A = this chain, B = another copy of it.
């Protein structure tokens, strides 16, 4: 699920976009607090402070489509926030550390969004009962983001030779582990996590002198 801006997005009127945003925000809160199973149209309606659940199905169609919209919205926002912090870094090393830092910072600042994403990924299923958005999807997305940075570093000589896909997955795993360590006792601070993961990343990637 490579996330790109929806085609229809440009065609939407400003008020429609606002309504969608309002509903998505409510859905995120409900998902984070009450879980996927209880994230019903009715609860989301209450949270959004709108009059009828019909408004939700009007703007998003089915429940599955709403959930996908939530997922995309969160992913795009995260991407944007991370890109804002990562752009402009001249070297691959700096871009890598900036990216890790930005990712962890975004996670720390948006626990509800993270939880909502998690709820959707672990529960949304298609008619056959198969998970719609497995961990696979999110892993692929991450590889797509990290691999280019890693390749650039290898070409510039900053990084040693390694399998970029495997390294991207490894770093993704480390970040996932950090999420747990930031959210569950004994808690680590964001800064500590950032320090740890960036150190790990640099040691793992730097070209041996």
Residues of A within 8 A of B (CB): 33-38, 122-123, 125, 129, 131, 135, 139, 166, 169-170, 173, 176-177, 180-181, 184-186
Q: B35, A125: Cβ atoms under 8 Å? A: yes
Contact B125 A34 (CB under 8 A): yes
From B34, B135, B185, B186, contact of A184 by CB (8 A): B135
Q: Report copies per complex.
A: 4
* Contact (Cβ within 8 A) A129 B34: yes
Q: Contact between A166 and B186 (Cβ–Cβ < 8 Å)?
A: yes
Task: List chain B residues, Cβ under 8 A from A38.
Answer: 125, 129
Q: Are A37 and B37 in contact (CB under 8 A)?
A: yes
B36, B177, B180: the one contacting A123 at CB < 8 Å is B36
Q: Which residues of B contact A125 (CB under 8 A)?
A: 34-35, 37-38
**CB atoms of B169 and A185 under 8 A apart:** yes
- Write the nearest CB–CB distance from A127 to chain B, whole angstroms: 11
**Contacting A177 at CB < 8 Å: which of B131, B135, B139, B177?**
B177
A185–B180 alpha-carbon span in the complex (Å): 19
In the complex, which residues of chain B have a beta carbon less than 8 angstroms from the beta carbon of A186?
Answer: 166, 169-170
- A177–B177 Cα distance when bound, in Å, is 7
Q: How far is the CA of A38 from the CA of B129 in the complex (A)?
A: 8
